[in-house]
Amino acid sequence: MNKPILELKDVKTIVNKGTSNETTILKGINLKINEGDFITIVGTNGAGKSTLFNVIGGNLRADFGEIVHNGHDITKTTEEQRTTFLARVFQDPKLGTAPRMTVAENLLLATKRGERRHLTLRKLKENMARFTKLAATMNNGLENRMATATGALSGGQRQALSFLMATLKRPDILLLDEHTAALDPHTSQNLLHATNERITQDHLTALMITHHLEDAIKYGNRLIVLKDGQIKADYQGADKARLTAKDLYEYFES
């Protein structure tokens, strides 16, 4: 049997506590994420998808329930503490990279995720061939821009860099928060393809939020539908393989 790398037990999140606007966003999430799972997550606007990532990432505290990583209760640990085993790529290409630093310098930083970071010219030189090879796997010319400041990259190249940075030092959990949503269709498909290659080849455990039902069906071994702060469906294996966008669309109708 697969062993859960991360488990959420009856997780609830409440905002604006004690006011007339008090709202329960996540209404009792139970989720076992197994090592090597690639889970796509779909759901209506406001369903709680980003909140789920915030709770897993430690940006937001779970008000009830428990989060367990490799058998350890991490419910009360901070976002910073969780960066030792968790990486996240956001929708906004500006998040996740240091704009004034070069592509190579950003990648060097990423080798030290969750640790004290100290950059040296020697380490940069030592790693340049490896970083260039890695950048070439993104299929968008990033390998020719190793000495370019990140702020001068195209959105697609910057997202590709964010993805590489998130995966360079292997995370136990990779959170992809609509990481291709701000890109044009071709660039988006290219990054999704590269994302899938890396996750599959390195057997990474990943969760990916997307509004594209076809992509949610095409990628990953599991698909979760979140609605009104609850998991409404968790498709795996043959059930996921049989899914159509029409099946999923029904969750969005009422």
Ligand X SMILES: Nc1ncnc2c1ncn2[C@@H]1O[C@H](COP(=O)(O)OP(=O)(O)OP(=O)(O)O)[C@@H](O)[C@H]1O
* Residues contributing to the site for ligand X (CB under 6 A): 15-16, 25, 43, 45-51
* Nearest approach, Cβ of residue 147 and ligand X (Å): 35
Q: For the chain, how many residues are written?
A: 254
Which CB contacts under 8 angstroms, 24+ apart, belong to 70-79?
Answer: 70/5, 70/6, 70/172
Cβ nearer to ligand X, comparing 91 with 221: 91
C-alpha to C-alpha distance for 254 and 252, rounded to whole angstroms:
6
* Nearest approach, Cβ of residue 126 and ligand X (Å): 40
Cβ nearer to ligand X, comparing 54 with 106: 54
Cβ nearer to ligand X, comparing 46 with 99: 46
- In contact, 89 and 177? CB cutoff 8 Å: yes
- In contact, 2 and 34? CB cutoff 8 Å: yes
* Nearest approach, Cβ of residue 16 and ligand X (Å): 6
Cβ nearer to ligand X, comparing 227 with 240: 227
* Nearest approach, Cβ of residue 211 and ligand X (Å): 7
Closest alpha carbon to 147 in 166, 170, 121: 121
CA distances from 44 to 57, 78, 189, 213, 248 (A): 21, 28, 22, 11, 11
* Nearest approach, Cβ of residue 202 and ligand X (Å): 27
* Nearest approach, Cβ of residue 254 and ligand X (Å): 16
Cβ nearer to ligand X, comparing 48 with 171: 48
Q: Are strands 230-236 and 222-227 parallel, antiparallel or unpaired?
A: antiparallel
Cβ nearer to ligand X, comparing 179 with 198: 179
